Structure 1
């Protein structure tokens, strides 16, 4: 077969440009990434060989070998793992064919530290080789296949794939750039492996001429005693298992003993993984059985709402030859899952109680994911709810539901909330005006899951959870607030009744009803949901996902205290309904715009606005 030349996917080309030209702050990590990938390749073959022993036939002593060649100026990293064929090379080294690609590219900034975190987080640490190499060659043969392949590239936009003779596994040869000869020095290689890869459970061997030397401890880190593991070793194992460059926010290492024995070494990342909100909601904790890798996508190991966790779980009780399909209904795994969830929630509770400021960092990063458990995990709903923190109208700091419930006003028997896309926008919502005037604290909920867990919970500490956008909220029973700012009842002269009737006639079926408002203090109008109606924010979300194709008619509330509403009432009384017809539609469009919705008919909105302004100028 002749050489097959192909161009990198655009995302890879951009990534390579960043790697080569920007990421020089810590170049030695390229070796950590290559060793980590080699370790994963050996793990995958070791698992496959449990049921297909012929795949590892003739070479079942797993190892990773470093071969520096000072004369040639090359460093080769070899493994005897699963290997790759032609399609694997193109898919793994030529494209980024995974979820989160678009977000990954949009978040690349050119800042070397930030971008390196993203690159590692996206699991493409192989490309870090180009920080020190002018060209890279990968010679490989996939286990169970006879044909070997060679992938070469200078990292400048294209790569070449050809047939080649190859041993099972992969050999990655880096032709080092001028000035990078330090990575051929055995002393330097020892130090790098000891610092970054000592925890790798497979021997990392330095081959220097005829001499061979194992550089790492080659024992699974999670099997060691916690007292024998340094914080630096924990951190480097996180970098390996998560393919990440950030530091973990929380490390959980424990051994469960008793009827079922397993070890868990779990990490909460310090930054948000790119695929955290992908629809498949995969978890990324690796499952081992007696230190043999089984799977890194076991859906039954952890619930989706803990998918931000990274790490390993090693069971002593599962059968070594268990298939991924058999895992789905295994009672031992179900008990391990229950134990893991209980431990993780307990550790998060401890952090929430002992380090409030630090916990706020976690909540801002992963709170939206953890809240999914309130809706999905009935058994642990109460425990998860106690871990939740919320933005409220009471200040800038986060608050628990217990704290909000403890601050209810005299006469307040409900906990109020409002949903939307953005905290800053919610704070300006007209629906809040009456609540703010009364000094009533309102939860500001901005995650899509909030539309689902709140109705599922219903109440907290005997207090109903109620949206401020419901049309029949009664604030009169709540004591307190600035009397001058309170919503006032409709005027006794009945003018507001005439205006309401006129607005109903003008707007027709575009509104469900028109009412005088008991919640507005400074805005002239707002839209609210009638009793039993879907919330406006949920309707907006469903429309965005094309699950609804039209708006529901809402209740338009008018503020009898506002000068505009008083003026319109007087205009109707003196000139009749037709005199305010255009202004009625402008009021409705104004209420829609405040809710983040476009005018019902932009062309008519523009025409009416121009006509009203013209009249205002005496035209």
Structure 2
């Protein structure tokens, strides 16, 4: 096969242009990314050799090697790991096959030359592209273990790359960077200088479990890293900086972690875990194909990158490593889902993470506020999917409230409940302003009762699955009957029921296609009417969500409640008693109640026509 010239995928070309022509505050990280890629390749080769005894790969001395040539101004990062085929090179390096690439590029442009740009690059796992921050041209030679033909890839990062066969390529991958001349003038960033390479490896890659060797000079190659797994070292012997660098390695994040979690178990199931909570949520946290899970090792042997069986989906922001002692090295994702040990480890990890979040809430409110702002929406998904830990999740969760601008915990809400209040009240909606301006809030505001303001999409679903918190029921202010009246008010309401009974019956007949019942309300103080649902009815916001997903929900007739103290309702009663037909006003009243809760009119033109005629008559 002859040499081919191939255009980069459009998004890859834009990303390369941004990286090449921008100035980053710390270009050293390119070496960390290349060493991290090499380490992953070595992990994958060792696992492949365990699984396929006939692979024919050399696993005798797995390592990463750095070769610097000051005269030629080149730096080569070489590994003897799994390697790549031609198709894999095109797929992995010629394209960025990750959802959200357009969003990444937009944010990179907005970030400009700030440190935030590096964080974004790291989150998308495109570390290989960082080579072009320091190189005018990059060459890659690779051969996949167990195959005979290698591949040579080369590019200046401007718009295309060349690819051709490499007959004598050794097993693994070699990346050669033709370094920019400008960096030679900066002693701290001369990447052909062995001293600079030693400093970078010690700073960023000391924890890599494979030897990182510096070739050249006299004698044998020099090993630059300690190769000690952080999770296996005593906690007192690991610095915060080492934890931070390890987190960046496993999470593809360029920030420090918000919190570090260590866990070890002995006895029936022996394992060690090193987990992290992020300071900033991963960009793909709420994408359908988001990466989740932690790295799984068995007796220090890498098994898989994103072990979903160890972390439930609602904790997908947790990154780190679990090293188990007794699992088979040939374990697959399918087997893991059924493995009793994995299930036990998963339960303990979940309890530990929730415990740490609870500890942040109690002792480090600023950290907790950061965590909840970034990851709280995902954590609340556990209220649906993890009934065993539902009460714990409720205990560590925070919710917006009418009590103030800051989110509140349910325990604090219950502690503030006045005498006579017997439930935690909430309302779901599209936004805080929509909820707070809703007619449903009127009586609760008048009574001074606090209401949780739930506006995340997941809130629409979990509230139906959760009955209460520590014995106190959760109750929607927009569903069912609301009993906020004193005994005296109830007596007055009973008298009015008879007074307005005929009006309610007639209005229900007029609106028979839209409502199941018309009744007097105890939740209104200023609005004339409000629409409410039965206890288990779908909310209007949830109906909108279904429609947005292309699903038409079944039509739900709701209940129209009237405020007997409002002049409009009293006027309708008198008009009915006088024999006047005010069915058009009844339709307007229903439409007003629908609009007040953010609903959509079934026939807007009819509503506008009725409104215009009533306004004309009033004038």
TM-score by length of structure 1 reads 0.90
Distance 1:290 1:386, change over 3 A: same
Aligned partner of 2:360 in structure 1 is 351
Query: 1:202 pairs with 186, 210, 213, which one?
Result: 210
Distance 1:15 1:254, change over 3 A: same
Q: Is 1:189 the counterpart of 2:191 in the alignment? A: no
Contact 2:248/2:255, CA 8 A, preserved across alignment? yes
In 2: Cα distance, 1:118 partner to 1:233 partner: 21
Contact 1:411/1:477, CA 8 A, preserved across alignment? no
Q: 492-501 or 52-61: which moved more?
A: 492-501
- Secondary structure of residue in 2 paired with 1:208: coil
Contact 1:186/1:208, CA 8 A, preserved across alignment? no
Cα RMSD after superposing both structures: 2.8
Q: 1:199 deviation in Å?
A: 1.0
Q: Is 1:161 the counterpart of 2:163 in the alignment? A: yes
For residues 148-169 of structure 1, give each alpha carbon's deviation from its aligned partner in whole angstroms, at most 9, with x where no partner exists.
1222222223333322232221
Q: 1:358 deviation in Å?
A: 1.9
- Structure 1 segment 489-508 matched on structure 2, within 5 A: 500=504, 503-508=507-512
Distance 1:136 1:599, change over 3 A: farther
Distance 1:592 1:25, change over 3 A: farther
For residues 226-276 of structure 1, give each alpha carbon's deviation from its aligned partner in whole angstroms, at most 9, with x where no partner exists.
111111111001001111112211101232222322111100111111232
Distance 1:561 1:128, change over 3 A: farther
Q: Is 1:177 the counterpart of 2:180 in the alignment? A: yes
Q: 228-237 or 561-570: which moved more?
A: 561-570
Aligned partner of 1:241 in structure 2 is 250
Q: 1:491 deviation in Å?
A: 9.5
Q: 1:427 deviation in Å?
A: 2.0
- Structure 1 segment 419-498 matched on structure 2, within 5 A: 419-477=428-486
Q: 1:575 deviation in Å?
A: 7.7
Q: 120-129 or 277-286: which moved more?
A: 277-286
For residues 302-325 of structure 1, give each alpha carbon's deviation from its aligned partner in whole angstroms, at most 9, with x where no partner exists.
222222110111112223333333
Aligned partner of 2:533 in structure 1 is 529
In 2: Cα distance, 1:561 partner to 1:523 partner: 9
Aligned partner of 1:57 in structure 2 is 57
In 1: Cα distance, 2:510 partner to 2:106 partner: 46
Gaps of 5+ in 2: 185-189
Contact 1:471/1:555, CA 8 A, preserved across alignment? no
- Structure 1 segment 487-566 matched on structure 2, within 5 A: 500=504, 503-566=507-570
- Secondary structure of residue in 2 paired with 1:552: coil
Distance 1:429 1:108, change over 3 A: farther
In 1: Cα distance, 2:594 partner to 2:5 partner: 55
Distance 1:188 1:209, change over 3 A: same
Q: 115-124 or 495-504: which moved more?
A: 495-504
In 1: Cα distance, 2:500 partner to 2:20 partner: 70
- Structure 1 segment 12-27 matched on structure 2, within 5 A: 12-27=12-27
Q: Is 1:389 the counterpart of 2:398 in the alignment? A: yes
For residues 452-482 of structure 1, give each alpha carbon's deviation from its aligned partner in whole angstroms, at most 9, with x where no partner exists.
4333331223222111111311111599xxx
Contact 1:543/1:550, CA 8 A, preserved across alignment? no
Aligned partner of 1:134 in structure 2 is 136
Q: 401-410 or 235-244: which moved more?
A: 401-410
In 1: Cα distance, 2:33 partner to 2:156 partner: 18
In 1: Cα distance, 2:277 partner to 2:153 partner: 36
Contact 1:586/1:608, CA 8 A, preserved across alignment? yes
For residues 387-441 of structure 1, give each alpha carbon's deviation from its aligned partner in whole angstroms, at most 9, with x where no partner exists.
1222111112222212212222222222111112323332222211211111111
Query: 1:402 pairs with 395, 400, 411, which one?
Result: 411
Distance 1:587 1:92, change over 3 A: farther
Gaps of 5+ in 1: none
For residues 106-132 of structure 1, give each alpha carbon's deviation from its aligned partner in whole angstroms, at most 9, with x where no partner exists.
654521333322221121122111212
Query: 1:292 pairs with 301, 326, 335, which one?
Result: 301
Q: 428-437 or 541-550: which moved more?
A: 541-550
- Secondary structure of residue in 2 paired with 1:180: helix
Q: How many residues align?
A: 609
Q: 1:44 deviation in Å?
A: 1.1
Contact 1:491/1:560, CA 8 A, preserved across alignment? no
Contact 1:589/1:600, CA 8 A, preserved across alignment? no
Q: Is 1:590 the counterpart of 2:600 in the alignment? A: no
In 2: Cα distance, 1:478 partner to 1:445 partner: 31
Distance 1:257 1:439, change over 3 A: same
- Secondary structure of residue in 1 paired with 2:310: coil
Q: 48-57 or 189-198: which moved more?
A: 48-57
- Secondary structure of residue in 1 paired with 2:307: coil
